[in-house]
Structure 1
Amino acid sequence: MIIREATAQDLEILLTFEQGIVSAERPFNSTLIDGEIHYYDLNQFIQSPDATLIVVEDNNELIASGYGLIKKSEKDYYNFEVYAYLGFMFVKPEYRGKGVNKLITDELIRWAKSRGISEIRLDVYARNEAAIKAYEKAGFEPLLLTMRLKS
């Protein structure tokens, strides 16, 4: 398996990965609209000096993706000014459970640390137990749970 930065030539496949993420998240989020949804500006992640969009290849086939984005702290009372936000974690179903997501996470953590960033965050649905376990295994810990009420 090869980990590399994504290029514009990868966008078509990456857009299918994005829809795979949307499909996987629908059971956890009843507020998503029907139809095709685009969470990300993937081209921006490829071009931005404050982001990295990586892919994993196996036998010249894209099988996984993830991005890291440097963001400014939302709160002036945090003990960090910037942090790395990780997202777009997708692994093709036939490659799941083989450590591919850990490869991506480890590479994105290395990228953040190489930029002097020690605070690294990501979001995961509270009921997505498999993802929570995977991120905990990578060293992440729960921080905040968003609650909602539909009235």
Structure 2
Amino acid sequence: MDTIHIRSATQNDLKVLRTFEQGVIKAERPFDVTLDADPITYYDLGELIQNDNALVVVAETNGTVIASGFALVKPAKHYLDHDHFAYLGFMYTRPEYRGKGVNARIVERLKQWSFAKGLKEIRLTVYNDNQSAIKAYEKVGFKKHIITMRLA
């Protein structure tokens, strides 16, 4: 495989990142009957890129952006043993690059940034039925922690 470089996203990446966002939504739609009808968006990507308390990264090979992810500093609940934590989101890898460790490299870069910010806790959310995502996150050290339940 060609060399993969992890770098901070820029405003110039917004077009491809918006395409990735729709890929995330498409992948998650089967797991969530509460998602509104298309078109929807999850993130204000331009704001996240400019936010000092966030880091949006992309994986790039041969000038092509192939994956993304972000870390965002969030306040913790008042009863926890930490004031803030890093929330990871927007994990997307182009299908042809999946299973090659690209997401693990993105997570590692986001972990480094989070620890450099003094954060000791890193969290993400994943749908309970999304077993392939759960497996990928467990592979890089995440553990299941809590399940959100709903009644409709």
TM-score (norm 2): 0.96
Number of the residue aligned with 1:124: 126
Gaps of 5+ in 1: none
**RMSD across aligned positions (CA):** 0.7
Aligned-partner SS, 1:86: strand
Counterpart CA distance in 2 for 1:63 and 1:99 is 12
What amino acid maps onto 2:146 in structure 1?
L
Q: How does 1:1-151 map to 2 (within 5 A)?
A: 1-73=4-76, 75-150=77-152
| Cα deviation, residue 76, structure 1 | 1.2
Counterpart CA distance in 2 for 1:10 and 1:137 is 28
| Cα deviation, residue 34, structure 1 | 1.4
Counterpart CA distance in 1 for 2:146 and 2:114 is 21
| Cα deviation, residue 145, structure 1 | 0.4
| Cα deviation, residue 35, structure 1 | 1.1
The sequence identity of aligned pairs, in percent, is: 52
Counterpart CA distance in 2 for 1:137 and 1:111 is 20
Counterpart CA distance in 1 for 2:49 and 2:130 is 28
- Give a deviation string over 1:68-101, Cα, whole Å, max 9, x none: 001111x211000010000000000000011111
| Cα deviation, residue 46, structure 1 | 0.8
Moved over 3 A (4+): none
Counterpart CA distance in 2 for 1:94 and 1:37 is 25
What amino acid maps onto 2:148 in structure 1?
T
Aligned-partner SS, 1:109: helix
What amino acid maps onto 1:44 in structure 2?
E
| Cα deviation, residue 7, structure 1 | 0.5
Counterpart CA distance in 1 for 2:118 and 2:151 is 39
| Cα deviation, residue 37, structure 1 | 1.1
TM-score (norm 1): 0.97
Please identify, of 28-37 and 9-18, the stretch whose mean Cα deviation from structure 2 is larger. 28-37
What amino acid maps onto 1:145 in structure 2?
I
Gaps of 5+ in 2: none
What amino acid maps onto 1:128 in structure 2?
N
| Cα deviation, residue 59, structure 1 | 0.7
Counterpart CA distance in 1 for 2:47 and 2:71 is 12
